[in-house]
Chain A
């Protein structure tokens, strides 16, 4: 657990760089993760993916399965990887402020 200062905002993060509390999410967080995840510019498609993840999490309390994410965004998995090189879990969920994926990952 560490505290991160970025553009005047403070975030509590874990050792993998995931936000410790979804409620701490704000747009500065996106700016920070962007640099970590090798994303040059946030396109509409990036935002669409982040919003879908956040809506789903707020509604259901879990991150969507990859197939659900593909269906909701109409992005194929390949395209999700083009947007977020680390993938939907480590890249997109981290940026959306969702909890770190668990299980045998």
Chain B
């Protein structure tokens, strides 16, 4: 398409420039029933998976229907969400912190038509456009990252792994049969954008090979001290290298036996790429949470050291996740999060209950704190 100007004048970029206006005020987008009852809610109830009702002190009720979202959406999909909101909710809609979509109506008789409309919408391939669920003690949406769609440091894909996992756990999105809510998160490298470090089950992209060094360009495109300082294990040191044509250039040297393939140096220096088809894969972590309910917030712990990238459905990964979810739902007490359960029964029992292999990779060896994760007691189960 030919160029169509918005009115911006590239010759005078600072003219008529509007800045620092921030986001729109959220008050502008409240449904009337929310605006009227703000701060005056009495109680709420989960009527069925995906449907909530909040009752105000005034007796006003607001019914919320939560539906899954794929997070990465086209504008036509957003338009369809807007159409539904126009049709049933006077044009109001919201997104949750786990990227689900919530449609709100102010009376009970509007809920059924809305639910029927949402449930009837499917993509041509057959998948639900707006599956209802994600409430209570079930599995809700997966917080995830960019993966091969957009990022340059991933070790796995985000949207693909998430779709495969959600397909496996879909029943638990639409019911509330688990001991407590189960949060699954995904990050495609150990930058851990999102919530993998504090989720019940976490999928994490992982490299297994040290970076390759492009000595010819390294000093030109990188600030060498930053690459050196980016390394958590000090595997990188500055060095002089002689190129094939005989010129001596500044570069770096990587001590491969100190490198644990975090990829931080590539983040800082484009001449140190490390992505690798066979080397890269997935680490599974488990047992994290952010809430203060009963126990303090916890970090998730590594429970599967490596699973290969198996595009497009990641079967070994979804199998392992399924095993963890089943063992947890069979073993845990009511209200127990996955981490609470694993700590109560002991991690050695967690591994046998989930039928996961314990390998030496799972033993912490990073700096002084690693010592605190070893067992300094005779209390354990055979």
Q: What residues make up the interface of A, taking CB atoms closer than 8 Å to B?
A: 14, 20-22, 38, 57, 60-63, 85, 99-100, 102-104
Contacts and interface: CB of A to CB of B under 8 A. Distances in A.
Interface of B: 10, 12-14, 191, 217, 220-226, 267-270
B223 A62 contact: yes
B14 A85 contact: yes
Q: Is the interface of A mostly helix, strand, loop or mixed?
A: loop
Contacts of B224: 61-62
Given A38-B14, A102-B267, A103-B267, A61 B220 contact: no
A90 to B, nearest CB: 13
A14 B221 CA distance: 10
Which one of A57, A62, A100 has the highest number of Cβ atoms from chain B below 10 Å of its Cβ? Answer: A62
B226 A102 contact: yes
A24 B154 CA distance: 32
Given A102-B268, A103-B268, A63 B221 contact: no
B233 to A, nearest CB: 19
Nearest to B227: A102
Contacts of B268: 102-103
Which one of A102, A103, A104 has the highest number of Cβ atoms from chain B below 10 Å of its Cβ? Answer: A102
A84 to B, nearest CB: 11
Given A60-B225, A102-B269, A85 B13 contact: yes
A21 B220 CA distance: 5
A62 B11 CA distance: 32
B66 to A, nearest CB: 31
Contacts of B269: 102
A104 B225 contact: no
Contacts of B225: 60-62
Nearest to A102: B268
Contacts of A102: 222-223, 226, 267-270
B226 A62 contact: yes
22 contacts: A14-B221, A20-B217, A20-B220, A20-B221, A21-B220, A22-B220, A38-B10, A38-B13, A61-B225, A62-B223, A62-B224, A85-B14, A99-B220, A99-B221, A99-B222, A102-B222, A102-B226, A102-B269, A103-B267, A103-B268, A104-B191, A104-B267
Nearest to B15: A38
A29 B141 CA distance: 50
B45 to A, nearest CB: 42
A61 B221 CA distance: 11
Nearest to B230: A103
Contact of B223 (A21, A38, A61, A104): A61
Contacts of B270: 102
Given A61-B224, A85-B13, 20 more contacts: A20-B220, A20-B221, A21-B220, A22-B220, A38-B10, A38-B13, A38-B14, A57-B223, A60-B225, A62-B224, A62-B226, A85-B14, A99-B220, A99-B222, A99-B223, A102-B222, A102-B267, A102-B268, A102-B270, A104-B267
Nearest to A14: B221
A50 B33 CA distance: 57
B128 to A, nearest CB: 34
A14 to B, nearest CB: 8
Of all A-B residue pairs in the complex, the 6 with the closest CB atoms, nearest first, are A38-B13, A62-B223, A21-B220, A102-B268, A62-B225, A61-B225
Contacts of A99: 220-223
Nearest to A100: B221
Contacts of A103: 267-268
Contacts of B191: 104
Contacts of B220: 20-22, 99
A102 B224 CA distance: 12
A75 B160 CA distance: 48
Nearest to A39: B13
A57 B221 CA distance: 13
Nearest to B193: A104
A38 B11 CA distance: 7
